[in-house]
Amino acid sequence: MLLASNESSIARDELDRLKSLRWTSVAVHKWQEQHGWLCGFNFLPSTAVNFIDMWHPATFDLKTIKRELGLAAEIGYNALRTNLQFLLWDDDPAGYQRRIDAFLDAADNSGIKVIFCLFDDCGFSGGPPDISVQPDPIPGIHNSRAMASPGREIVMDTAMYPRLKDYVQAIVRAYQNDSRVICWDIYNEPGNLMIFDEGGQSETSDALEPFSLELLIASFKWARACAPSQPLTTAAWHIKMPWDKAEVGIFEHEIDQIAIALSDVVSYHAYCSADIMANVIEHLKSHGRPLLCTEWLARNIGSTIVEQLPIFERERVGAFQWGLVRGRTQTHVPWPAIVTLLGDYDPQTSDWFHDVIDSNGKPFDLEEITVVKRLTDLAARESVSGAKRPASRSEG
């Protein structure tokens, strides 16, 4: 087992205990029926270069947030996922909570429900996070200023875990009965080692992984102790990418297996073609729980709205694509490895990798917007009428 500091036998006992505390299949399917088909996006406002920028008191852009969530509602989206940042909470818990409240009000006024993600290992900038005003993006580099939360160095410092526990429980308890929050995503891509810079795509030390797993398990324990009215999840995310030379199974990594085993709702990330997505969904149905794909959409490698959103709606899999508005994260540019793989990528003429509209609300592809609106309207009508659709679960 990957765990960094616990004895494996103790860790196994703790895992078994946490698994026993998951919501029952009946309870979590009732939650799914209550909220209907979730069709959403991962959100940063177009004016933010990363999540520190989004939530920082000096750059919290509520005017843009309200406008862009209004655009999302017009398209037909009904939910979003966004990351919180431990360091900002640690610096000023009360001030941060006021900004969270303002954000939740903006989402609610647009009819959009929220999934908050508490931790995140995607420190693509390569450096430790800090809460100073954030630098401009590196031109042409996907998510070049992405900062992890709490930061890879803190994840590997178990002396910080009591403070991380305080953060998890303060946030969860503040919103544990808040109807605007529909789910808690405990940890985004634990163990993600990637760095994106002008030199391309590389990885930091794999020494991070066992600590990420340890924090993942601990965080489920801390959040579960709060008994929130919303389910908990963490996405499985290790899946074969176009540049992988060796075969990679569907979520066979230990981190993925434990994430699925501890989650009330099974969530996953899959940037892949439609046929692979259908296989992934079929594979995950065996867990007998509602499914959320909390990251997808990568047009340059065959992950498209027109092809895949109908699959999600038909299978009742909640779908949260990466990105809404093309902005300072530059996620319309592919990952560096994909730029290299494509060979002929042109930032002026090639498809956007992520995102669906520009800062003026103009769609990348009007057909995508039509598909979103048609499917969310269809799902809403069926929800009102009580029509039964095949669910993404096994009845066995």
Nearest-5° Cα angle at 231, 226 to 233: 105
Please count the helices (runs of H) and the strands (runs of E) in the chain.
Answer: 14, 11
CB 342 within 8 A of CB 243: no
For 159, residues 6+ apart whose C-beta sits below 8 A from its C-beta are: none
pLDDT tens track for 93-116: 999 999 999 999 999 999 999 999
Q: Is residue 216 part of a domain?
A: yes
The pTM of the full predicted model, rounded to 2 decimals, is 0.95
For the chain, the domain total comes to 1
394 within a domain of the structure (yes/no)? no
pLDDT bucket at 162, cuts 50 / 70 / 90: very high
Tell whether 32 is covered by a domain. Answer: no
User: Mind listing the pLDDT tens digit for each residue in 139-153?
Assistant: 999 999 999 999 999
pLDDT-derived band at 9 (thresholds 50, 70, 90) equals low
Q: Is the peptide bond before 150 cis (omega within 30 degrees of 0)?
A: yes
Q: How many CB atoms lie within 10 A of CB 197?
A: 14
Q: Which 3 state secondary structure label does DSSP give 195?
A: strand
**Other CB atoms within 10 Å distance of the CB of residue 10:** 10
Task: CATH number of the domain at 230, please.
Answer: 3.20.20.80
Residue 320 sits in which domain range? 37-385
Give the span between the Cα atoms of 396 and 338, in whole angstroms: 40
Residue 392 covered by a domain = no
CB 189 within 8 A of CB 122: yes
Q: How far apart are CA 27 and CA 230, in angstroms?
A: 11
Average pLDDT, the chain: 94
- When pLDDT is cut at 50, 70 and 90, the band that residue 386 belongs to is low
Q: Return phi, psi of residue 94, to 5°.
A: -65, -45
| pLDDT tens track for 349-361 | 999 999 999 999 9
- Give percent of the chain above pLDDT 70: 95
User: Tell me, what's the pLDDT at 71?
Assistant: 98
Domain contains 347: yes
Position 394 confidence tier, pLDDT thresholds 50, 70, 90: very low
If we measure between CA atoms, which residue out of 78, 91, 121 comes closest to residue 269?
121
User: Model confidence over 320-333: pLDDT tens digits?
Assistant: 999 999 999 999 99
Question: Taking 70 as the threshold, does the pLDDT of residue 256 lie above it?
Answer: yes
pLDDT value, residue 396: 28
Q: Is residue 328 part of a domain?
A: yes
Instruction: Give the E-state strand segments of the chain in sequence order.
Output: 39-42, 79-83, 113-120, 181-188, 194-197, 200-203, 232-233, 235-236, 266-269, 291-295, 318-322
* Residues 383, 220: Cα–Cα separation, whole Å: 31
Does the residue 14 lie in any domain? Answer: no
Work out the percent of the chain whose per-residue pLDDT is above 90. Answer: 89
**Residue 51 within any structural domain of the chain:** yes
More confident position, 32 or 394: 32
**DSSP assignment of 363-380, as one string?**
BS-HHHHHHHHHHHHHHH
pLDDT at res. 245: 75
pLDDT at 388 over 80: no
